[in-house]
Structure 1
Amino acid sequence: MTFTGIKSLASVFLTGCLLFSCQDLTQIDKNPNSPEAVSSNYIMTYVLSNTGKAFFSLGRDGSKIGAAMQYMQAGTNEGAAVINQYAWTQESWDTYYDILRNNQLIYEKGVKENNRLFQGIALTMRALVYGLLTDLYGNIPYSQALNAASGTFFPKYDEQSAVYKGVMTDLKQAVTLLNSLEAKDAVNATSDILYKGDGAKWRKFANSLRLRYALRLADKRAEMSALDVNLQTEFTEAAADAFTSNADDASMLFPGISADNSAAGGPLNSPNPNYLLKPGKPFVDKLIALNDPRLSRWIQPVLRKWDTKVTKETTVAVKNMYGESYSVVYVPATTASADTSLYVGLPIGLPITQAISYNKGNDATAYNNERNPYISFLHERYRKNTDAYVPMNLITYSEVEFILAEAALAGNFGATDAEGHYKKAIRASMEKAGVFTVSYDFEKYYAQTAVAYTAAANKQERIMEQKWLSSWFGIQSWFDWRRTGYPALKAGEVAQYGKALPVRYMYPVPNQDPSYLTNYNAAVERLGATNYIPAGQSKDHPYAKMWVIQGTGKPWN
């Protein structure tokens, strides 16, 4: 891609208004039609909303990560190769650099006006987006990016270690700025759709991200130390002022008013209800095995259930713990192989013909390929424009508690009480999913041998399994799996490259300009070759290892 000039601010203003209602222009800026005078408040709305949508899309709508972590599978041939076979192709990063270009305007104007809140917000968002980019791709344009105005159209790809150092530096500087706010350092509360101008919450957000990246770099402690980044110091400082409840979450809901500000699965964006994506069987089966109350928040019962206790088709009104009622036809089970569960996930990596007909048994009825009634659908909320339980999460309190639990277990980050943090993390996830809107015995759930921290032989695996469940449709579980190898997920039979799951996104289709190719080829050369890359293929491949996991032996050799 080329790094052209800054996106039209008129377009930014319009998009911001569409996403989250604008105020009287005189309340924010005297002349919003002049690019030089456009308020950072308008641009901030655009940056926050589009960052939220980008994170959401990677986990829910992009489906690559959701499929890799086996939250979902595709039951028809539409996109099934990408989802079920991990046939990943080049992935554009235009959205992220567009966000970064606009975010840079916020930072520059914050410096010019000596507004430390705008500066702190912009540095936090810059760290978040650049951190995501390097997490996805590896080496990326960083130090020379966003400089098209000064003639740098083909920036170099900085080494991943340098990008992570920049991320940690930005976050630390953001915390310093946000710790020294004065009355003059303010933003418009309605433009800050994340925290309403609350600098203390932004500071907690920045510190929580420091925890995320300090742990993500744990296996590269020595290399980061050589770059003057002390991960333990970073972690200890950040842990003292990070998220302490779900009220701190960096999370936004879709307004659901127009296509631009609605969830992709809702009718404003999907005239035909999306039943293509099915919940993955390993995920569903784990929730069933634990009698996990989040199951019925996220997934619907089957429409037709195989059952050994009925002798003829019987329609049953099934009500879940939240009072939602479903009409389910109980069908006499005729084969031992029938999945008789009320909730049925689609197995991982089935050939298309098998995926379409999975669990139909001897039912010869021709159903729409996307609507096999013997497989569960995602909950109806994923086909709405907005829903209270379908947020755009950037980082949550639950994730922070899981980070603290793992750090305490590791013993070299200064954190303590691994079990206490682990338990708080699970409870926070359940609270966010609305489990406690009804009477529920959390202690009984936690006491199960398969949940309790003290009952686990491998405590890191136990932490990561629950973090995986709590990260439903999120993307952090993929980065955690890549770092730890947990949960121990297996590829399906149609996976393109054998038993392994992919570990990175491929760069966008290369621009053929010689300067661009020089930088691109240098970045590809630094990727680690693996046995899953066929002979003669480029290392710009989903199974090439980026620096952060090179030499770790994880998630696979």
Structure 2
Amino acid sequence: MTLICGLALTACDQKLDEMNVNPYGIDPTEVNPNLLMPTILAASAQNYASLGVNDLAGAVQHTQKNGWYGGHNTYSWENMSWTGWYDILRNNDLLYNRAVTMESKFFQGVSLTMKSFVFGNITDLWGDAPYTDALKGNENSMDFQFPQFDSQEIIYKGIITDLKAAVQLFENANNTGVVPANDLYFNGNVEKWKRFANSLLLRYYMRISVKMPAEAKAGVEAIYASGDYIKNASHDAALDYTGGASDIWLTRHVKLNPDDFTRYQASQTFLDQLIGTNDPRLTVWFAPVRVQWVADKTLATATDNNIWRNGEPLGVLTLPFDDFVVLYPKDKFTRRYNPDLISLNDALYVGLPPALVIPESYNGNPSPGQGTHNQHVSTLADIYQTAGSTGDILKARLISSAEVSFIFAEAALNGWSVGSAQENYNAGIEKSLASWGQAGKLSKFLAEDGVAFNNTLEQIMVQKWVSSWTAAAESFADYKRTGFPSLAAGPQSPQPRVALRFQYGNDEYNNNSININKAIENLQLTDYSGGFGKDSQWSKSWLYQGTTTPW
């Protein structure tokens, strides 16, 4: 009887083994790198663009939201998970291992470049993070199940080392075996990948320039001398949005329910800059108010409870957003107010000031509420509304030729051998205008007060901030490093300063508490860290410790 039971159990074990084998699964040791690449590239670009139009766009005051605005307007960055970034890194690590096995220098270079890009964002936003011990959870060691956090200094140095290695790989690589369509950035073009890797090196050399000035100077000068960097929009590392149903921009206008789109409002900080310099990109990025206020001192009440269409009263206080967009796109809507009785912004382009207490009611909105349309404040421009109107300018840009030129302008201002500060500054503006279809307006714009080069770091950083529209992560890092542009926190901000970093997520606290507590000790308390202790949005990571920027 015992023997029979033993045989039965053995048979059951064998069947269980068979059942647990997925016949459709792909063996990691045999996966084709071409199948991994689109997932890595698309997720990286989309994550970066999401930062650039959401929380970090609010932090650098490109935009504000009138609904669901805590993370956007007031730095509610508690328990910020980095899981999505590490998911990308796991796939990327598999890509690298396969590339080594296949002896593909191209795929090795791609993997090292994307590893650097992703880890760069992680350390920029959080500070210390698992790096050396990361991505080793499948190894038979408890050390890797609970990875130690590397210092920000080690991570930045590792990024630079990996990018240098990627450049060397691309020097001798070819695209044999690469499916061009699966390379969502460059269609398998090795030269463009080398330019991308070198341009990321420029970004991170400049990032560490205060802490490691000699290395940064030598690195930037060497890349400039090589000429192998992103020089024009055709070299930009960018993900195109086709406008298809499954490939739409991060903001969306769903007909009859446009609240996801209409909650994105222009920031008055950004509009003041664009309007004050007659910036031709203003009309590309933002829509005029749907209903413009008109001053009328004869009005007996503070505001008129009626909107006017082409000078004729409509007898209604507001219209649905889709009526403005679909039914009356060319009509002029106005509403009267008495400036002796109420103060309102009657400009054609109106933004939300940062961190308002009740942003959804700003400027006399007749239908306030979380996410409802405010007809008296500018939303994003029409190109962001619908899936079919993207054209060729709506992209998720990881790094652009404009950013590279502004890096060289700053480096030249430091006295580094990278050409003229003014020429690089003008080139940065030129390339940004071209990217947004405004190339023909360059000469006039460069002559505007506040734009014509005045040989200051502030001016370079302000124009770099403008050109980083939808790529606000870089302006956020620049602001922390230089203090420019000058940004003031609004009344609803928990602290009277713009925040500096994301808080660590609960996963790390719950599952890796010993190592995260060591990392937190490396953060520097500031006068604004508040009740969170060192893991605060207003604490300083290594890169900014010992400096007086941005405050």
- Normalised-by-shorter TM-score class: 0.7 to 0.9
Q: CA deviation at 1:340?
A: 1.8
Q: Pick from 485, 488, 507 the counterpart of residue 486 of structure 2.
A: 488
User: Could you tell me which residue of structure 1 aligns to residue 347 of structure 2?
Assistant: 341
Question: Residues of 2 paired with 1:397 and 1:172: CA distance?
Answer: 19
User: Could you tell me which residue of structure 2 aligns to residue 435 of structure 1?
Assistant: 438
Matched, 1:530 2:526: yes
Structure 1 residues 445 and 180 mapped into 2: Cα distance closer, same or farther (>3 Å)?
same
Question: Partner amino acid for 1:553?
Answer: T
Question: Residues of 2 paired with 1:462 and 1:477: CA distance?
Answer: 13
Matches within 5 A, 1:212-223: 212-221=203-212
User: Could you tell me which residue of structure 1 aligns to residue 51 of structure 2?
Assistant: 58
Question: Residues of 2 paired with 1:532 and 1:441: CA distance?
Answer: 43
User: Could you tell me which residue of structure 1 aligns to residue 252 of structure 2?
Assistant: 266
Question: Partner amino acid for 1:233?
Answer: A
Structure 1 residues 347 and 419 mapped into 2: Cα distance closer, same or farther (>3 Å)?
same
Q: CA deviation at 1:35?
A: 3.8
Q: CA deviation at 1:510?
A: 4.3
Contact 1:303 1:327 in 2 (8 A): no
User: Could you tell me which residue of structure 1 aligns to residue 320 of structure 2?
Assistant: none
Question: Partner amino acid for 1:328?
Answer: K
Contact 1:124 1:206 in 2 (8 A): yes
What whole-Å deviation, never above 9, does each CA across 1:77-105 have from its counterpart, x for those lacking one? xx233322222211111111111111111
Contact 1:264 1:270 in 2 (8 A): no
Query: Number of paired residues?
Result: 493
User: Could you tell me which residue of structure 2 aligns to residue 350 of structure 1?
Assistant: 356
Question: Residues of 1 paired with 2:502 and 2:413: CA distance?
Answer: 30
Matched, 1:74 2:74: no
Structure 1 residues 359 and 273 mapped into 2: Cα distance closer, same or farther (>3 Å)?
closer
The farther-off stretch of 116-125 and 370-379 is 370-379
Q: CA deviation at 1:390?
A: 2.5
Structure 1 residues 181 and 84 mapped into 2: Cα distance closer, same or farther (>3 Å)?
closer
Question: Residues of 2 paired with 1:295 and 1:511: CA distance?
Answer: 42
Question: Partner amino acid for 2:521?
Answer: E
Matches within 5 A, 1:250-399: 250-259=237-246, 261-266=247-252, 272-274=258-260, 275-308=262-295, 314-316=308-310, 326-335=330-339, 337-352=343-358, 355-360=359-364, 365-366=366-367, 370-385=372-387, 387=390, 388-399=392-403
Question: Partner amino acid for 1:472?
Answer: W
Structure 1 residues 148 and 268 mapped into 2: Cα distance closer, same or farther (>3 Å)?
farther
Matched, 1:553 2:548: yes
Matched, 1:89 2:82: no
User: Could you tell me which residue of structure 2 aligns to residue 138 of structure 1?
Assistant: 127
Question: Partner amino acid for 2:501?
Answer: R
Question: Residues of 1 paired with 2:91 and 2:158: CA distance?
Answer: 19
Normalised to the residue count of structure 1, the TM-score between the two structures is 0.84
Q: CA deviation at 1:389?
A: 2.9
Question: Residues of 2 paired with 1:221 and 1:543: CA distance?
Answer: 24
What whole-Å deviation, never above 9, does each CA across 1:105-124 have from its counterpart, x for those lacking one? 11111111111111111111
Matches within 5 A, 1:176-187: 176-182=168-174, 184=176, 186-187=177-178
Structure 1 residues 34 and 502 mapped into 2: Cα distance closer, same or farther (>3 Å)?
same
Question: Partner amino acid for 1:488?
Answer: S
Question: Residues of 1 paired with 2:506 and 2:407: CA distance?
Answer: 35
Matches within 5 A, 1:393-542: 393-411=397-415, 413-436=416-439, 440-454=440-454, 459-474=456-471, 475-497=473-495, 499-511=496-508, 516-534=512-530, 537-542=532-537
Question: Residues of 2 paired with 1:35 and 1:257: CA distance?
Answer: 31
Identity across the alignment (%): 33
User: Could you tell me which residue of structure 2 aligns to residue 26 of structure 1?
Assistant: none
User: Could you tell me which residue of structure 2 aligns to residue 5 of structure 1?
Assistant: none
Question: Partner amino acid for 1:529?
Answer: L
Q: CA deviation at 1:129?
A: 0.6
Question: Residues of 2 paired with 1:449 and 1:309: CA distance?
Answer: 32
What whole-Å deviation, never above 9, does each CA across 1:28-67 have from its counterpart, x for those lacking one? xxx984443221001001100010110011111xx22111
Question: Partner amino acid for 1:288?
Answer: I
SS at match of 2:333: strand
SS at match of 2:265: strand
Q: CA deviation at 1:359?
A: 1.7
Q: Please tell me the root mean square deviation across aligned C-alpha atoms, in Å.
A: 2.4
Contact 1:258 1:268 in 2 (8 A): no
Contact 2:292 2:376 in 1 (8 A): yes
Contact 2:296 2:338 in 1 (8 A): no
Contact 2:509 2:516 in 1 (8 A): no
Structure 1 residues 104 and 375 mapped into 2: Cα distance closer, same or farther (>3 Å)?
same
Contact 2:361 2:369 in 1 (8 A): no
Contact 2:367 2:373 in 1 (8 A): no
